[in-house]
A and B are shown apart, each in its own frame.
Chain A
Amino acid sequence: MRTLRFLLQKEFRQIFRNKSLLPLIFFMPVVQLLVLPLAADYEVKNIHITIVDRDHSTYSQKLVSKIGASGYFRLTDYTMGFDEAFKDMEDDRSDLILEIPPGFERNLVRENQQSLFIAVNAINGVKANLGGAYLNRIIADYNKDICLEWIQTSKFNPSPSIEVTQSNWFNPSMNYRFYMVPGILALLVTMIGAYLCSLNIVREKEVGTIEQINVTPVQKYQFLLGKLIPFWVIGMAIFTIGLFGIAWPVYGIVPAGNLLLLYGYLSVYLVGILGLGLLISTYADTQQQAMSVAFFFMMIFILMSGLFTPIDSMPRWAYIIARSSPVTYFIEVMRMIVLKGNSFEHIWRHFLIMAGFAVCLNGWAIVNYRKTN
């Protein structure tokens, strides 16, 4: 125990003395939490649309102004011919083309029927899909307006319709930030923990001080604990700053669940992810190697964590990979506790799995760390 105390004292001294590390540890998460959620937002806005109006009638004007008023679209161009409009799309100035054919108003009034043409730039699938869907809804809405206008004298609604009433649970205003911020916070804690921890040990290898430690009676587990505990504390601190310094005041995210439970899970999680950092450091000989390997794992963990895309829609094999990443579980738990307010009975399985990760990764690191080679 006494040995560990000396190791910790030394480690904290070095960390707090490092002029470039400390600001990075606390400044980076703050900035990232302020900036990233704005980018990781699925609500598609500012869709550029080119409208080819070949009718120039009152009705076509009404449709155009309805599209403009929806707030999702930005009119790039208002042309007479499709070729010009297509050029906009080719030049990436436009995502959507709506063509209103000649005789739009006339056909609508006389024959009660008219078709419109929408062309979508499908390179950005999400934007194209949502843009097309929005436009369809606006047109359907417009269609309904016209119907009402024409048959308002009738007492009965002649067209049967199903009305859907929807209520949004856990995130009533469907605010994407609520969904993204806890996840991004989880990622920040993960990255800082894993990187700093593995780089720190490998640095001792590079400088040669680790050899000095290896000829002393310091036990392997003592040395690794001496590395794990400081970064565990830093991880906790970053999380707290992120949650109470940014998520709460800036985004208004108040954890719905028990804070103790949240911190309990975080503490197990940090042991696990720091174990991964330790493990990487026992294999890597240079900081460059450690960085590359850590980066490889982080990329996979982050992209497959379910932060950006639901993991249930992945193919089976990818789903298995996603399920073997500790980050996936942490992001789930973050959302379960912070947004849904789940209690221990809902997440005890997550606790078990994370404890498993922590034991395996740290055990492996201790076995693989050699004082003698």
Chain B
Amino acid sequence: MNEIVIQTDKLTKRFGDFIAANEITFDVYKGEIFGFLGANGAGKTTVMRMLCGLSKPSSGAATIAGFDIYRQTEAIKKNIGYMSQKFSLYEDLTVMENIHFFGGIYGLSGRQLKEKGEALITRLGMRNETKKMVSSLPLGWKQKLAFSVAILHDPKIVFLDEPTGGVDPITRRQFWDLIYDAVERGITAFVTTHYMDEAEYCNRISMMVDGEIKALDTPANLKKQYSADSMDEVFYGLARKAKRNL
């Protein structure tokens, strides 16, 4: 449990005078679900984009799966999966074509593609949809598919940026079942979300306010610390102090 897969030390991102993320320091352990919470504009996506190698930090250090965030970005990319806010499968390719494409560019062999593709289809119950265009699927299905494709190459860590935005509670529940499945297979999940019930599903959560991490602990400890009954109250208590964007 104590193997560290993400380690950041005073990670900072500036856009001109604006400090989007200020001296972010935290560790994420192997096999945990790490919730990354914060109001809109608090800097969650900025941090996640730095960790995925999409954005260069202004200062600070970080290692992802043991690789340096500045010098070994390509090695990091082999070891992570990423599912963005913007839905990002190819809409004009079929379900199976998307699976083959993304599996293929991660270097899966023909046999692996076939086996993993089959397993994925069975797990999602999409047997009858394999030849359908992704554009014709309902949003919930697209997101489950996008997640499954993001972990097709068995990454060490999967980054999920507000993965359940805009879907119904049942689909969200199913989505979280997929995350638990992945974690059981040894994948670490790093999730941003706005839903406080989802925060309860996480092993540990961090709260970002105005580009800084203001709290980091298990949901139970946080509730105790802020003498709150629910994560909602913890969130309000912290987010209300924000000066930015209010």
A: which residues have CB within 8 A of B?
2-3, 5-7, 9-10, 13-14, 17-18, 207-209, 211-219, 371-373
Q: Can you sample 19 A-B contacts with CB below 8 Å?
A: A2-B104, A3-B105, A3-B107, A6-B101, A6-B105, A7-B105, A10-B93, A13-B93, A13-B97, A14-B92, A207-B88, A207-B91, A211-B54, A211-B84, A217-B74, A217-B105, A219-B74, A371-B54, A372-B73
A217–B76 CA distance with the chains assembled, in angstroms: 9
Residues on A with C-beta less than 8 A from B89 are 209, 212
Chain B residues 7 to 53 lying within 8 A of chain A, measured CB to CB, are 52-53
B226 on interface, CB distance cutoff 8 Å: no
Q: Which of A3, A10, A216, A373 contacts B97 (CB 8 A)?
A: A10
Q: Secondary structure at chain B's binding surface: helix, strand, loop or mixed?
A: loop
Q: Which of B55, B92, B104 contacts A17 (CB 8 A)?
A: B92
Residues on A with C-beta less than 8 A from B106 are 216-217
A2–B100 CA distance with the chains assembled, in angstroms: 12
Q: Contact: A6 with B104, CB < 8 Å?
A: yes
Nearest neighbor of B83 in chain A, beta-carbon distance: A212
Residues on B with C-beta less than 8 A from A218 are 105
Q: Contact: B88 with A212, CB < 8 Å?
A: yes
Minimum CB–CB distance from A20 to chain B (whole Å) comes to 12
Give the number of A-B contacts (CB < 8 Å): 74
> Contacts A215-B82, A371-B54 given: A208-B87 contact, CB under 8 Å?
yes
B214 on interface, CB distance cutoff 8 Å: no
Minimum CB–CB distance from B70 to chain A (whole Å) comes to 10
Minimum CB–CB distance from A5 to chain B (whole Å) comes to 8
A10–B56 CA distance with the chains assembled, in angstroms: 29
Nearest neighbor of A223 in chain B, beta-carbon distance: B105
B86 on interface, CB distance cutoff 8 Å: yes
Q: Contact: B77 with A208, CB < 8 Å?
A: no
A13–B91 CA distance with the chains assembled, in angstroms: 12
B67 on interface, CB distance cutoff 8 Å: no
Nearest neighbor of A9 in chain B, beta-carbon distance: B101
Q: Contact: A217 with B93, CB < 8 Å?
A: no
Residues on A with C-beta less than 8 A from B97 are 10, 13
Contact with A along B102-145 (1 / 0, CB 8 A): 10111100000000000000000000000000000000000000
Nearest neighbor of B82 in chain A, beta-carbon distance: A215
Nearest neighbor of B100 in chain A, beta-carbon distance: A6
Nearest neighbor of B56 in chain A, beta-carbon distance: A372
Nearest neighbor of B53 in chain A, beta-carbon distance: A372
Query: 4 extra interchain contacts, Cβ-Cβ under 8 A, other than A215-B80, A373-B56?
Result: A10-B93, A13-B93, A216-B105, A371-B53
Q: Contact: A215 with B92, CB < 8 Å?
A: no
A373–B87 CA distance with the chains assembled, in angstroms: 20
Q: Contact: B104 with A3, CB < 8 Å?
A: yes
B90 on interface, CB distance cutoff 8 Å: yes
Residues on A with C-beta less than 8 A from B52 are 215
A212–B91 CA distance with the chains assembled, in angstroms: 13
Q: Which of B78, B87, B88 contacts A217 (CB 8 A)?
A: B78
Nearest neighbor of B52 in chain A, beta-carbon distance: A215
